[in-house]
Structure 1
């Protein structure tokens, strides 16, 4: 296995601290930390933050806070009704607004916390997939990325070549808000002997889309669908008559996308612009404040429009972007259409 880069070590940092890496990954990470003071310092800072989070006391809003606040508002309106003619009405509205703001400051973050965590978890899961693909490519002939599943209609990587050697954490295969029954079914499928990869990939396909080729537009995605239906080899470049070939995803393929050969950073820039995997759209981006999300939903409700959705998208260089559905590039929008209808609750 090749040495890890600082970027790969950064993606593995959380799993290293939580001791969820495979023995192979742990050895590679430890070897990198022994030779990289920067990554070692970053790891220690992360370890300190985790320790602080573990020791922090959880805070929940007092029971009945909203009801007591509304009752107090009604009481104030009743007791001050006689003075209302003499007092400017602006003071009354300011008082009510202040109470409502205090209530929102306490209650809304408590309700929105789990949703914020979902976006972060999807982002981290996609980064771990990106790292697993890179490690697989380092050891595969031609440095190709994992092939797509051979099963019809399953647009996910072939788990039989990834699990458990390159991808050991089952938790990233299903979203954090998935029912416990789905999570249990995934564990059963992969932990039995031999693993039921078909069953596991059908569950995974409810959340993720991956096809294993480089796409430039929606027509490329359609060509890949036709190629798969025809039973074409999963590791081959798709040759297009009178058009641009669709290259199999592999290290170095980005050179075919470079237009400025004199730019030394063109290869890295090309990898950072090639989407390779996405997840089911989310209601917000990681790190967005709770009131930004609340205000956005309120605006959508008032205008009658649907609330904005964001597509978590993994790029070839390993970074993840949350792309607004309406602004998605044609190839990303076409990939999104490969997602099946959600399973009934």
Structure 2
């Protein structure tokens, strides 16, 4: 009756899944189970998964099962299915239980365990292949990083040359595709906007910014941050990670660099006294601060990827006895 608890102390509970009378259903079911068992054993080899019970041959039934499982894991693969099948057929007298029983012992005691061992080897090979693929070669990374950095760095210098009046000047590039001039104008416009919000009168053109009563600053090519942006772009794309992970770090990093650059321009325009601060090179000081912040960010970006992989591996399956 609903809501009534019955305590049954005598008798046996017989479970019969009629679907398993169909051999195709039985094989498909055990094929799925073999995936889980193989994955579990591989995780035990890697010390990701551990037994929650202390193995003890003379302990409780669960402790004895844990001991037998531990013994099974230590047996050589491909040999243990044959040993287990022989044990069931000879010592448990399965050979005398009829044709259906022999077929069941063969499928459940030998075939299933053999499939598990085959899948264990496949998982180990795939993990080894993946590890070798994802392994970072210092020489390969350094070479790729240097090449990308040189390409980006000197491309900016070359582009600056062809968009500046001179022998190789290109009016089309200077007029329509001049990203260097666009970045300079954007930085000056943002700096002027912030200064005006602070209550100062400010004007600017494509290269200079003037604050009333404070003086003027000139935004030269080497103050645009193109070198450090080339550095971080080369490093991120040379490092072996997925493109999505690279872009998720690179875009905020570049925006952060230019945000700090705007902050520097605002502070220089309002507080920098060129005559009183001849000893301090604000450009060098700013680059040192930027590179320190960038190195710290790259360190945590790299560590976060390794930590994420370890976390996924550890939480893939629940711990069992």
Whichever structure has more helix as a proportion of its residues is 2
Shared fold, TM over 0.5: no
Larger radius of gyration: 2
TM-score under structure 1 normalisation? 0.28
**TM-score between both structures, scaled by the size of structure 2:** 0.29
